[in-house]
Amino acid sequence: MDQGTMTATAPSRQRATVDRSRRHSKPNAHRRSRTQCQPRRGVKFLRWPHEEGKRSDYLAERIPILWVVESAYAPPQKLDPIEDWVRLPMPQADVDARVTCLMHRALNEAVPVIGPDNVLHTRAGRLALADSEAAILAPLAENFQCVVARKALVERGWGQPSDQYRNALDLRILRLRRRIAPLGLEIKTVWGRGYMLELA
Protein backbone atom coordinates (compact mmCIF):
# COMPACT_ATOMS: atom_id res chain seq x y z
CA MET A 1 0.00 0.00 0.00
CA ASP A 2 1.54 3.31 -0.99
CA GLN A 3 1.03 6.68 0.63
CA GLY A 4 -1.23 8.01 -2.11
CA THR A 5 -3.57 5.05 -1.75
CA MET A 6 -3.90 5.41 1.98
CA THR A 7 -4.44 9.15 2.05
CA ALA A 8 -7.08 8.94 -0.67
CA THR A 9 -9.04 5.89 0.43
CA ALA A 10 -9.07 5.94 4.22
CA PRO A 11 -11.09 9.16 4.71
CA SER A 12 -13.67 8.17 2.07
CA ARG A 13 -14.11 4.79 3.76
CA GLN A 14 -14.99 6.59 6.99
CA ARG A 15 -17.53 8.78 5.18
CA ALA A 16 -19.11 5.76 3.54
CA THR A 17 -19.44 4.07 6.92
CA VAL A 18 -21.15 7.11 8.40
CA ASP A 19 -23.49 7.46 5.41
CA ARG A 20 -24.56 3.81 5.55
CA SER A 21 -25.22 4.00 9.28
CA ARG A 22 -27.48 7.02 8.79
CA ARG A 23 -29.46 5.43 5.95
CA HIS A 24 -30.14 2.24 7.87
CA SER A 25 -30.65 3.70 11.33
CA LYS A 26 -33.66 2.43 13.25
CA PRO A 27 -36.34 4.43 15.07
CA ASN A 28 -34.81 3.53 18.44
CA ALA A 29 -31.37 4.76 17.36
CA HIS A 30 -31.38 7.25 20.26
CA ARG A 31 -30.68 4.30 22.55
CA ARG A 32 -27.20 3.82 21.07
CA SER A 33 -24.24 4.86 23.19
CA ARG A 34 -22.57 8.03 22.02
CA THR A 35 -19.39 6.10 21.24
CA GLN A 36 -21.31 4.47 18.38
CA CYS A 37 -21.93 7.86 16.75
CA GLN A 38 -19.35 9.49 14.53
CA PRO A 39 -17.97 13.03 14.58
CA ARG A 40 -19.38 15.14 11.78
CA ARG A 41 -15.91 16.02 10.47
CA GLY A 42 -13.47 13.26 9.66
CA VAL A 43 -9.76 12.83 10.24
CA LYS A 44 -7.37 14.82 8.04
CA PHE A 45 -4.43 12.94 6.53
CA LEU A 46 -1.38 15.23 6.22
CA ARG A 47 2.25 14.60 5.25
CA TRP A 48 4.85 15.30 7.92
CA PRO A 49 6.72 17.61 7.87
CA HIS A 50 5.77 19.13 4.48
CA GLU A 51 2.21 20.05 5.50
CA GLU A 52 3.00 21.19 9.03
CA GLY A 53 1.84 24.67 8.10
CA LYS A 54 -1.78 23.48 8.06
CA ARG A 55 -1.57 22.14 11.61
CA SER A 56 -2.63 25.23 13.57
CA ASP A 57 -5.71 25.86 11.42
CA TYR A 58 -7.02 22.31 11.80
CA LEU A 59 -6.33 22.16 15.52
CA ALA A 60 -8.00 25.54 16.04
CA GLU A 61 -11.14 23.96 14.56
CA ARG A 62 -10.48 20.79 16.64
CA ILE A 63 -10.29 18.65 13.50
CA PRO A 64 -8.24 15.47 14.18
CA ILE A 65 -5.05 14.91 12.18
CA LEU A 66 -3.25 11.70 11.25
CA TRP A 67 0.29 12.55 10.15
CA VAL A 68 1.91 10.40 7.49
CA VAL A 69 5.60 10.65 8.38
CA GLU A 70 7.96 10.50 5.44
CA SER A 71 10.81 8.02 5.77
CA ALA A 72 13.65 10.54 6.01
CA TYR A 73 12.15 12.52 8.91
CA ALA A 74 11.59 12.05 12.64
CA PRO A 75 7.92 11.94 13.76
CA PRO A 76 6.24 15.01 15.27
CA GLN A 77 6.71 15.69 18.97
CA LYS A 78 4.27 16.98 21.62
CA LEU A 79 1.14 15.90 19.80
CA ASP A 80 -2.31 17.21 20.63
CA PRO A 81 -4.74 14.54 21.94
CA ILE A 82 -6.50 14.64 18.55
CA GLU A 83 -3.28 13.99 16.60
CA ASP A 84 -1.44 10.77 15.83
CA TRP A 85 1.10 9.59 13.27
CA VAL A 86 1.94 6.61 11.09
CA ARG A 87 4.89 5.65 8.97
CA LEU A 88 4.41 3.63 5.80
CA PRO A 89 4.27 0.83 4.96
CA MET A 90 1.62 -0.03 7.55
CA PRO A 91 -1.27 -2.54 7.38
CA GLN A 92 -4.57 -0.88 6.47
CA ALA A 93 -6.18 -2.36 9.59
CA ASP A 94 -3.67 -0.50 11.76
CA VAL A 95 -4.33 2.76 9.92
CA ASP A 96 -8.07 2.28 10.34
CA ALA A 97 -7.58 1.68 14.07
CA ARG A 98 -5.68 4.97 14.42
CA VAL A 99 -8.41 6.79 12.51
CA THR A 100 -11.16 5.33 14.69
CA CYS A 101 -9.28 6.25 17.86
CA LEU A 102 -8.82 9.85 16.72
CA MET A 103 -12.48 10.18 15.78
CA HIS A 104 -13.56 8.96 19.22
CA ARG A 105 -11.17 11.37 20.93
CA ALA A 106 -12.53 14.27 18.90
CA LEU A 107 -16.11 13.25 19.64
CA ASN A 108 -15.53 12.86 23.37
CA GLU A 109 -13.84 16.25 23.47
CA ALA A 110 -16.80 17.89 21.72
CA VAL A 111 -19.56 16.29 23.79
CA PRO A 112 -21.42 18.92 25.87
CA VAL A 113 -22.08 18.05 29.50
CA ILE A 114 -24.82 19.28 31.84
CA GLY A 115 -23.69 19.34 35.47
CA PRO A 116 -25.87 18.69 38.54
CA ASP A 117 -26.32 22.45 38.89
CA ASN A 118 -27.98 22.55 35.42
CA VAL A 119 -25.01 24.36 33.87
CA LEU A 120 -24.18 23.35 30.30
CA HIS A 121 -20.42 22.95 29.81
CA THR A 122 -18.91 23.10 26.30
CA ARG A 123 -15.55 23.96 24.75
CA ALA A 124 -16.95 27.38 23.89
CA GLY A 125 -18.20 28.26 27.37
CA ARG A 126 -20.92 27.66 29.93
CA LEU A 127 -24.63 28.30 30.03
CA ALA A 128 -26.93 28.19 33.06
CA LEU A 129 -30.18 26.39 32.24
CA ALA A 130 -33.59 26.49 33.84
CA ASP A 131 -34.86 23.14 35.17
CA SER A 132 -37.33 22.90 32.29
CA GLU A 133 -34.56 23.53 29.74
CA ALA A 134 -32.16 21.04 31.32
CA ALA A 135 -34.86 18.35 31.30
CA ILE A 136 -35.07 18.57 27.50
CA LEU A 137 -31.41 19.24 26.71
CA ALA A 138 -29.99 16.53 29.00
CA PRO A 139 -31.13 13.52 26.92
CA LEU A 140 -29.95 15.28 23.76
CA ALA A 141 -26.49 15.84 25.30
CA GLU A 142 -26.36 12.27 26.63
CA ASN A 143 -27.02 11.03 23.08
CA PHE A 144 -24.86 13.63 21.34
CA GLN A 145 -25.11 13.39 17.53
CA CYS A 146 -27.73 10.63 17.84
CA VAL A 147 -31.48 10.97 17.36
CA VAL A 148 -33.70 11.21 20.44
CA ALA A 149 -37.38 10.45 19.89
CA ARG A 150 -39.95 13.16 20.56
CA LYS A 151 -41.78 10.82 22.92
CA ALA A 152 -38.63 10.40 25.03
CA LEU A 153 -38.15 14.17 25.25
CA VAL A 154 -41.76 14.75 26.24
CA GLU A 155 -41.48 12.10 28.95
CA ARG A 156 -38.33 13.72 30.35
CA GLY A 157 -39.85 17.19 30.21
CA TRP A 158 -43.37 16.54 31.48
CA GLY A 159 -43.23 13.11 33.10
CA GLN A 160 -45.47 11.33 30.62
CA PRO A 161 -45.30 10.66 26.84
CA SER A 162 -48.50 12.43 25.89
CA ASP A 163 -49.32 14.13 22.56
CA GLN A 164 -50.87 17.02 24.46
CA TYR A 165 -47.37 18.42 25.03
CA ARG A 166 -46.40 18.45 21.34
CA ASN A 167 -46.64 22.22 20.94
CA ALA A 168 -44.98 22.83 24.29
CA LEU A 169 -42.02 20.71 23.21
CA ASP A 170 -41.70 22.59 19.92
CA LEU A 171 -41.66 25.90 21.78
CA ARG A 172 -39.04 24.71 24.26
CA ILE A 173 -36.83 23.38 21.46
CA LEU A 174 -37.10 26.74 19.67
CA ARG A 175 -35.96 28.61 22.78
CA LEU A 176 -33.12 26.18 23.40
CA ARG A 177 -31.86 26.59 19.85
CA ARG A 178 -31.51 30.32 20.37
CA ARG A 179 -29.75 29.92 23.71
CA ILE A 180 -27.17 27.32 22.66
CA ALA A 181 -26.32 28.85 19.27
CA PRO A 182 -23.56 31.12 20.72
CA LEU A 183 -21.89 27.96 22.09
CA GLY A 184 -21.58 26.43 18.62
CA LEU A 185 -24.36 23.88 19.15
CA GLU A 186 -27.59 23.26 17.29
CA ILE A 187 -30.64 21.06 17.65
CA LYS A 188 -31.64 19.51 14.34
CA THR A 189 -35.07 18.17 13.53
CA VAL A 190 -35.05 14.62 12.16
CA TRP A 191 -38.46 14.46 10.54
CA GLY A 192 -40.67 11.62 11.71
CA ARG A 193 -38.18 10.57 14.39
CA GLY A 194 -37.17 13.32 16.79
CA TYR A 195 -34.27 15.68 17.43
CA MET A 196 -30.48 15.54 17.46
CA LEU A 197 -27.93 17.78 19.20
CA GLU A 198 -24.71 18.37 17.29
CA LEU A 199 -22.04 20.94 16.48
CA ALA A 200 -23.21 23.91 14.44
- pLDDT of 28 reads 41
Residue type, 121: H
pLDDT per position as a tens digit, 91-127: 999 999 999 999 888 877 778 999 989 999 988 789 9
Question: What pTM was computed for the model?
Answer: 0.57
* Contacting residues for 89 by C-beta, under 8 A, at least 6 apart: 1
CB atoms within 10 A of CB 93: 7
- pLDDT of 41 reads 57
Confidence band for 159, pLDDT divided at 50, 70 and 90? confident
Burial of 161 (0-12, 13-18, 19+ CB in 10 A): middle
Ordered domains of the chain (ranges, CATH): 3-110 (3.40.50), 113-199 (1.10.10.10)
Say whether pLDDT at 177 is over 60: yes
